[in-house]
Structures are given as C-alpha cells and as structure tokens.
C-alpha cells in the first residue's frame, strides 16, 4: 500500500506498484488496467494523483492510453540491448540458437587506461566486461565504461543476468539521446584473445561506441570485439586494421 509519510511522492509510489504488477505478470501485456476511479478508491487517493502515476508509466512506455477504451499494458517490444551489437543475442535466440552472456569483470570503479579515443581516458569510470557465446563458442567481448557521477551505486550491484539497458532506464531514469560508433578490423592479444579463443593474428571486428544519455555526451563508452568467423556482423561502413588482408567474415 501507499505510505503517506514517505518522502517519495504518492504518485511515484503508485507507479512503482503498478510497474511491479506488470513485471510479475499480474498485469500482462494487452491487459486493461483498472480505471482511474477504481485505482483512486483502492489506494485511498485522489484521481489527479492516479493520473500522475499513469502519466509516468505512459512516458516510460509501459502503459498505453486508448481513447474511449482505457489504459492498457503495452505489448512488450523486442528488447534491443543498446550496449550490444544490435541485439545479437535476441536475434540468435529467436532462431533457436543457444546464446548466453556472462559478466567477466563485475562493475567496479577504476582508472581508465590512457587512450585518445576513450572519453574517460586516464579518469575514473565504472568498468564492466562481459562475454557472449553462441552454441558455446565465444563471439562477442564487450568492455564498457560508464560515467561514475551519473550512475552512483552501479559498481556495488551484481549485474549477472540483468539488462544494463533496463537498469539505466529504470534505476537511473536515463534514455539514449544520440551517439556514434566506428568500425574497424583489427587483432587482439592477451586477455582479450584468451576470452575470444583467438590468436594474435586472428582478425576481429572492433566497434567503438559513444552513447549520449539524456543529453549528456559520451555518458557511456564501449569497445566491442566480435569474432567475424563465428558471427555475421552488420554492414561495416569502413575498415582499418592491424592484420594485412583482414576482412570481415560472412559465415
């Protein structure tokens, strides 16, 4: 129930209650939620407060208003992880291919390596590394840097099995507002090669991605290393690399 003594506004409390019902499946996609008068009576609050709560969930795209019909739980869209290569795991899973992702390095606050391309070069950042496998074979290594001022407490969370996109949206209330990325073909060695099970001469697709959130430029920076012999990547606008004659695989 709602707690009028809490510093959290009542409309926000109600929004979180409704969201929990959506997450649990109690309010399934396509279901019409109770009317504003019904919710006001059930929680002992005024209709304007209920309307504010519903507005929050409409803006966050969990609910959909239909004129003359009511408010419904949105059909859950295909989730595309903005920190991966175009939702690769989702695409594989829909084709019945076993795809998994695991955290290699838990989120931690660290000093970023000096790198002219990294916007956090030499500065503190929250770092996460994870590896994606398809049918048990490693295909994608991700190294992600996040602005620690925008994501307080993230380095204390266990992100195993969680969607980073969803955490950013729901816990920190931030949305992508733009960004850029570049592609190249290169080679990796050391820990990266070990995780991808490649040699220092194996060509891999390297993507460097700069993501703006809620107007903050390069709030997240990621480096993605993809085995092109295991995965068919998206079109590559240009390439440069350390391996002579290297080119993206097509099978």
Class (C level, CATH) for 88-226:
alpha beta
pTM confidence score: 0.60
In this structure, of 76-80, 135-139, 229-233, the range with the lowest mean pLDDT score is 76-80
DSSP H or E stretch at residue 242: none
Residue 94: the pLDDT is 55
How is the chain split into domains, by residue range? 10-73, 88-226
Residue 93: the pLDDT is 54
Residue 234: the pLDDT is 42
Residue 221: name the closest of 67, 116, 71 by CA.
116
List beta partners, residue 210: 180, 221
Over the stretch 19-52, which tens digit does the pLDDT of each residue have?
Answer: 889 888 899 999 999 999 999 999 999 999 999 9
User: Taking 70 as the threshold, does the pLDDT of residue 242 lie above it?
Assistant: no
pLDDT band at 78 (very low <50, low <70, confident <90, very high): very low
Mean pLDDT computed over 146-167:
87
Quote the distance between the C-alpha of residue 167 and its chain's center. Answer: 7
Mean pLDDT computed over 97-126:
88
Report d(CA 136, CA 104) in Å as an integer: 15
Report d(CA 185, CA 201) in Å as an integer: 11
The dotted CATH code for 10-73 is 1.10.10.10
In this structure, of 32-36, 179-183, 200-204, 239-243, the range with the lowest mean pLDDT score is 239-243
Long-range contacts of 120-125 (CB under 8 A, 24+ apart): 120/145, 120/147, 120/221, 124/148, 125/221
Question: How many other C-beta atoms lie within 10 A of the C-beta of residue 222?
Answer: 20
pLDDT band at 178 (very low <50, low <70, confident <90, very high): confident
């Amino acid at each position: 129930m709602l707690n009028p003594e809490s510093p959290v506004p009542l409309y926000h409390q109600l929004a979180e209650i409704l969201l929990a019902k959506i997450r649990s499946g109690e309010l399934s996609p396509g279901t019409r939620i109770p009317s504003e008068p019904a919710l006001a009576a059930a929680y002992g609050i005024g209709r304007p407060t209920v309307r504010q709560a519903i507005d929050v969930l409409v803006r966050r795209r969990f609910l959909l208003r239909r004129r003359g019909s009511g408010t419904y739980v949105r059909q859950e869209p295909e989730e595309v992880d903005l920190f991966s290569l175009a939702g690769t795991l989702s695409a594989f899973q829909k084709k019945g291919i076993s795809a998994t992702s695991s955290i290699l390095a838990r989120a931690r606050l660290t000093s970023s390596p000096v790198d002219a391309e990294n916007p956090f070069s030499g500065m503190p950042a929250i770092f996460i590394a994870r590896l994606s496998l398809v049918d048990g074979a490693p295909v994608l290594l991700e190294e992600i840097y996040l602005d620690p001022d925008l994501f307080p407490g993230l380095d204390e969370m266990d992100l195993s099995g969680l969607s980073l996109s969803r955490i950013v949206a729901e816990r920190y209330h931030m949305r992508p507002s733009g960004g850029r990325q570049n592609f190249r073909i290169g080679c990796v060695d050391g820990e990266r090669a070990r995780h991808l099970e490649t040699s220092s001469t194996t060509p891999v697709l390297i993507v460097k991605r700069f993501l703006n959130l809620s107007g903050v430029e390069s709030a997240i920076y990621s480096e993605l290393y993809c085995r092109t012999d295991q995965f068919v990547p998206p079109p590559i606008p240009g390439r440069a690399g350390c391996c002579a004659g290297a080119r993206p695989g097509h099978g």
